[in-house]
Copies of this chain bind each other. A is one copy, B any other.
Amino acid sequence: MPVTPPAHVAVLGLGLIGGSLLRRLADLGIAVTGYDADPATRAAARHILDGGRIADSVAATVADADLLVLAVPLPAAGPVLDEIRAAGYTGLLTDVTSVKGPLRDLAAEHCPDARWLGGHPMAGTAASGFAASDPDLFDGCAWVLCLEPETALDDWLRLAALVTGLGARAVPATADDHDAAVARISHAPHVVAAALVTGASAGEQGPLALALGAGSFRDGTRVAATRPALTAAMCGGNAAALRTVLDALLEQVSEVRRLLDEPDPVTALTGWFTPAHTVRASWPASPGSAEHVAAERAELLALGRAGGWVTSVAADGRVVMASTPPPSAPPL
């Protein structure tokens, strides 16, 4: 299946992710148009990029594009999708928000004539906004691209060709599998970080505890410094998946609580800590093997579920798949 990468990419929303993407695409010589609702952000973007590449309306931005990247925060997605529809856009549409199920539903409701294919680059920094944008932000990051039953395989390959061209690893997954995964590796860690801070600082014993905090507290609570509105939007937007993960977490912590009452808690706890140690000590996984294969839907989904990714897409549609070895037990 021949793959034609997008020729003209429009980016709507020029924050950290949208701004970084626009700059990287421009650096690669790909035709781009960018837009942000904030005039000051547009002005800042015009300082960095050729001024003609920043448009003053959604309609002007999408006019010549064959790929639209929605890079606005989740609460703004519905209204911007309405503007995209009003502009008559019916091509390929992706996004970069941290939850995919809600975006899928918003796209179907507000912009049903465009072909939505959700995306999520697992990249970010504590900073936000165009001023923090960085064309190298996506180097080596995992970039989820949703492969739903209704997704055309050649659309998926076009987007995978684009994001692997930026240096990212394209991970095929359904929106629901994505949302379950990020509840585990991002949203639950944010909840736990805040709970640790609240517990550490509570009551009369708080000041001494905070004064003694060192490496494990610093790293374990780093993301509690994220703006509460951002964290709440992320967690609240993925409530169903996060519920399941928090229930499992409550069970795990309750189990430790019980093991502390065992006659020999140290032995019991050693057993409890060991599986997590085995997994974490071999994370992140190194790619175990790479295969050049003709892309098939079922194979791509199986690759993503197995923790693998696509590293490149050739013009004939053949892809390079990298799989990962399962974690093996290092010596205790």
Question: Does A161 reach chain B (CB closer than 8 Å)?
Answer: no
A181 to chain B, nearest CB (A): 4
Question: Which residues does chain B contribute within 8 Å of A188, judged by CB atoms?
Answer: 196, 199-200
Question: Does A279 reach chain B (CB closer than 8 Å)?
Answer: yes
Name A246's closest neighbour in chain B (CB-CB): B257
Q: Once the chains are docked, how many angstroms separate the CA of A227 from the CA of B235?
A: 32
Cross-chain contact of A276 among B142, B198, B275, B306 (Cβ < 8 A): B198
Cross-chain contact of A305 among B178, B204, B217, B306 (Cβ < 8 A): B204
Cross-chain contact of A190 among B191, B216, B283, B308 (Cβ < 8 A): B216
Contact with B along A29-67 (1 / 0, CB 8 A): 000000000000000000000000000000000000000
CB atoms of A196 and B192 under 8 A apart: yes
* Those of A303-332 within 8 Å (CB) of chain B: 304-309, 324, 326-327, 332
CB atoms of A275 and B185 under 8 A apart: no
Cross-chain contact of A235 among B209, B225, B254, B260 (Cβ < 8 A): B260
Q: How large, as a class, is the contact surface on chain A?
A: 35 or more
CB atoms of B192 and A177 under 8 A apart: no
CB atoms of B266 and A243 under 8 A apart: no
A209 to chain B, nearest CB (A): 4
* Those of A48-89 within 8 Å (CB) of chain B: none
Question: Does A127 reach chain B (CB closer than 8 Å)?
Answer: no
Q: A194-B273, A223-B220, A280-B197 are in contact. Are A182 and B124 (CB under 8 A)?
A: no
A218 to chain B, nearest CB (A): 8
* Those of A187-244 within 8 Å (CB) of chain B: 188-202, 204-217, 219-229, 231-233, 235-237, 239, 242-243
Question: Which residues does chain B contribute within 8 Å of A124, judged by CB atoms?
Answer: 214-215
A114 to chain B, nearest CB (A): 26
CB atoms of A332 and B269 under 8 A apart: no
Contact with B along A245-256 (1 / 0, CB 8 A): 111111011101
CB atoms of B236 and A142 under 8 A apart: no
Question: Does A293 reach chain B (CB closer than 8 Å)?
Answer: no
Q: A199-B184, A200-B184 are in contact. Are A228 and B193 (CB under 8 A)?
A: no
Question: Which residues does chain B contribute within 8 Å of A141, judged by CB atoms?
Answer: 214
Question: Does A132 reach chain B (CB closer than 8 Å)?
Answer: no
Q: With A194-B276, A210-B307 given, can you name 13 additional A-B contacts, CB distance below 8 Å?
A: A171-B208, A186-B214, A190-B273, A194-B272, A195-B249, A200-B279, A206-B307, A208-B306, A219-B220, A220-B222, A221-B280, A228-B273, A235-B256
Some 21 contacts from A to B, beta carbons below 8 A apart, are A123-B214, A142-B211, A171-B211, A182-B209, A185-B213, A186-B212, A186-B214, A190-B216, A191-B256, A195-B249, A196-B249, A199-B252, A208-B305, A224-B279, A225-B281, A226-B277, A227-B332, A232-B269, A233-B266, A236-B269, A247-B257
